[in-house]
Amino acid sequence: MADIIQLLPDHVANQIAAGEVVQRPASVVKELLENAIDANADTIKLIVKDAGKTLIQVIDNGKGMSTTDARLSFERHATSKIRTAEDLFSLNTKGFRGEALASIAAIAHVEMKTKQAQDELGTLLEIEGSTIKSQEVTVTPKGTSIAVKNLFFNIPARRNFLKSNNVELKHIIDEFHRVALAHPNIAFVMYHNGSENFNLPVSNYRQRVVNIFGGKTNEKLVPVEEETEVLKISGFVGKPEFAKRTKNEQFFFVNDRFIKSAYLNHAINSAYEGLLKDGSHPSYFLNLTVDPKTIDINIHPTKTEIKFDDEHTLYAILRSSVKHSLGQFNIAPVLDFERDMNLDTPYDYKNKNAATPRVDVDRSFNPFQDERTVSKANGFSSNSYKKEPAAQWESLYVGLESKGTKTDLNFSEVEFESEPETKSLFTKETSVETNQTTYQFHNKYIISTIKSGMMVLDQHRAHQRVLYEGFLKHLTVKEAVSQQLLFPLVLEFSSVEMEHLKELKEDLEHTGFVFSAFRAHQIEITGVPINVPESEVSIILEQLLSDVEQEVPDSNFSATDLLAKSMSKSLAIKTGQSLTRQEQEHLVNSLFACKEPSVSPTNRTTFITMSVDDFDKKFM
Ligand code: ADP
Ligand code: MG
């Protein structure tokens, strides 16, 4: 039989390799930025058009390339960064595979201009799908500019597979953040569609973090510094009260390279143990420096995962240093009996001023005054602790005219126990007590008796359904009621979050939000939906942003639905919340006034029923 094995032509091999290196425009951004850093640039400009689908250009003032190198750089396995396999164990550059430029050139139109400092003139190269179209001598400043146009022009399937511009731009910005955070000593500028998104001058690490994430970040940061034989840690963690719903502000860098590590992330979370609210994530920006010999970066093609020789030790040191920092800044108790004393840095107590302990006494306290005046003297207004239960729980359901819609219940299986029957058995006084048809248990479920037996509701899911249908109604009818805030509420967001908020603005207004300003990193709110407490606003918006990010928008993505889902999730009564009888009954009634009472907005069961027969069987 004839031989059938052939070597793949280079351009085919390159296209295949490109699939691994270049998943989306953001991958190109990462590779080009990293090359610029490896070329020792101190100013790097990123220019993006249409979320990278039309253009990605990186201009650096680094060392540039000779004409021969410029051509060679597009060959596969062409790298100036390693020569032998041993070099892999002492890497101090970002790249080393020599694959990126070859892969990018295989699937895009590339134009490169490059010049070395000592040369008069530079080189201009044009490549389309691995073929060199032209090579010229050109006038260009020192450094390299690579423009990547029409990504995936020759792989339509990949091009169609790209997500919306918003999603792709978010990935690009994420990569940009990662690179910029790892290199505060380099100035970065980023433009998208002609407008400047980021301008990050050379600065210290704290300023870099603040320049990226906004001015309010500064007060959140707690420094972490530790140096041991195996590991040096420097950077910041966020104060627990600023923990976020999203994991957007979690960054590990190992030897200046952004990495993902669930294991090290766990170390940090465990340092925050007991300090965070459920579902919130601490911010961290941590640089770990280890001996390059003790890590293997080679295990992942896009190089965001690395392998450490001694993960356990790193875990322990990291956890302990973060804990220590939180303690130092009076955020957590300093005493930690699990702490390994060998890892301790001796802190210089001599330099600390001893302060006389202070006891705060309310000098105006008079036990014979009546309660009202006492509380005033204490600086509390008396209604701050006297809640009015009715108003409280009713506010949970504002906007849902459950009474009116109750009649057109299309729910036939469940019949409620009719009141008059039971009433007649008892005297008027006792009937108030025994009329009870709902019970709450474990602050999680509500039992309601029904004619055929009983029904058990999941309070959180049921309330989500009630709120969800209410919000949807407002969003479509567009006549929400809002309450005006006494003082405008100013909230800070990152640029990516601001982009999402701008898109959701109109829908948010339909739920009752009133915005007085949208700035680069800030929004100003003057009105909120009537049932939303002011203190919850930032939580709701954060939850919403995290939901937007998780929901990969596609053709049938509906901002309205997402907003209704997200807000109902944030505002629904939680598991663990005890409800008065009135509240329980109101919840049951409102649920069955819904169009689809049996499932939560995310399609989870809201209630189950058990018939008397079911019970009878159990007692046989
Ligand atoms: P790698 O970075 O893994 O070496 P690349 O394909 O990204 O592989 O780049 C190939 C080579 O091209 C690099 O080793 C480097 O010598 C050269 N190069 C790429 N980009 C630049 C740049 N911006 N400035 C100077 N040299 C560059
Ligand atoms: Mg590279």
pLDDT tens per residue across span 47-101: 999 999 999 999 999 999 999 999 999 987 778 777 777 777 777 777 777 789 9
Same domain for 248 and 171? no
pLDDT in tens, 221-275: 999 999 998 899 999 999 998 888 878 899 999 999 899 888 999 999 999 988 8
Q: Determine the atom of ligand 1 nearest the C-alpha atom of 60.
A: 23
Average pLDDT of span 159-179: 90
Nearest ligand to residue 146 Cα:
1
Phi, psi of 245, rounded to the nearest 5 degrees: -75, -25
CB 78 less than 6 A from any atom of ligand 1: yes
pLDDT score, position 532: 82
pLDDT digits (tens, 9 = 90+) for 350-399: 444 555 555 555 555 555 554 444 333 333 333 333 333 444 444 444 43
CA distances in angstroms from 153 to 150, 156, 459, 613, listed in the order given: 5, 6, 52, 66
Cβ 284 vs Cβ 237: under 8 Å = yes
* pLDDT level of residue 440 (50, 70, 90 thresholds): very high
The angle at the Cα of 22, spanning 19 to 26, to the nearest 5 degrees, equals 155
Give the ligand whose atoms come closest to the C-alpha of residue 297.
1
285 in the same domain as 194 = no
Domain span holding position 256: 213-328
Q: How far apart are CA 325 and CA 334, in angstroms?
A: 9
Residue 175 CB less than 6 A away from ligand 1: no
DSSP per residue, 161-198: H---HHHHHHHHHHHHHHHHHH-TTSEEEEEETTEEEE
* CA trace torsion 500, 539, 591, 578 (10° rounding): 170
Name the residue among 212, 160, 215 with its Cα closest to residue 182. Answer: 212
Tell me, what's the pLDDT at 285? 97
Question: What value, to the nearest 5°, has the Cα angle with vertex 12 and ends 9 and 16?
Answer: 135
Q: Do 81 and 194 sit in the same domain of this protein?
A: yes
Residues 182 and 285 in one domain: no
CATH (domain of 513): 3.30.1370.100
- For the Cβ of 526 lying below 6 angstroms from any atom of ligand 1, the answer is no
CB contact at 8 A, 224 and 237: yes
Q: Which residues contact 162 (CB under 8 A, 6 or more apart)?
A: 24, 25, 53, 152, 168
Given this model, what pLDDT does residue 549 score? 75
pLDDT for 459: 94
Residues 175-233 have pLDDT tens digits of 999 999 999 999 999 999 998 889 999 999 999 999 998 878 888 999 999 999 889 99
Same domain membership, residue 614 and residue 468: yes
The pLDDT of residue 133 is above 60: yes
Using CA atoms, how far residue 321 sits from 232, 236, 272, 340, 576, in Å, is 11, 11, 11, 11, 34
Give the total number of structural domains in the chain: 3
Strands 55-60 and 131-138: what pairing?
Answer: unpaired
Average pLDDT on 520-548 reads: 86
Same domain, 50 and 86: yes
Q: Please work out whether the CB of residue 81 comes within 6 Å of at least one atom of ligand 1.
A: yes
Q: Is the dihedral of CA 473, 479, 483, 485 positive or negative?
A: positive
Please provide residue 164's backbone torsions phi and psi, each rounded to the nearest 5 degrees. -55, 160
pLDDT, residue 343, reads: 46
Is the per-residue pLDDT at 423 higher than 50?
no
In the structure encoding, which two tokens stand for residue 496, read together? 């990516």
Least confident of 31-40, 161-170, 328-337, 507-516: 328-337
Mean predicted confidence (pLDDT) in 162-175: 89
- Tell me the pLDDT tens digit for each residue of 307-335: 888 889 999 999 999 999 998 776 554 44
Residues 61 and 187 in one domain: yes
**Does 162 fall in a domain?**
yes
Domain final residue, candidates 261, 294, 328: 328
Q: How many percent of the chain have pLDDT more than 70?
A: 80
Instruction: Give yes or no for residue 144 CB within 6 A of ligand 1.
Output: yes
Which residues lie closer than 8 Å to 540 by C-beta, 6 or more apart? 532, 566, 567, 570, 571
Give the pLDDT of residue 477: 74
**Contact (Cβ atoms closer than 8 angstroms) between residue 225 and residue 259:** no
My answer on whether 45 and 129 are in the same domain is: yes
- Pocket test residue of 29, 73, 92, 145 for ligand 1, highest count of atoms within 8 A of CB: 73
Same domain, 471 and 584: yes
pLDDT number for residue 466: 93
Domain termination residue (choose one: 303, 328, 353): 328
Is residue 346 predicted with pLDDT exceeding 80? no
CATH code for position 239: 3.30.230.10
Cβ of 113 less than 6 Å from ligand 1: no
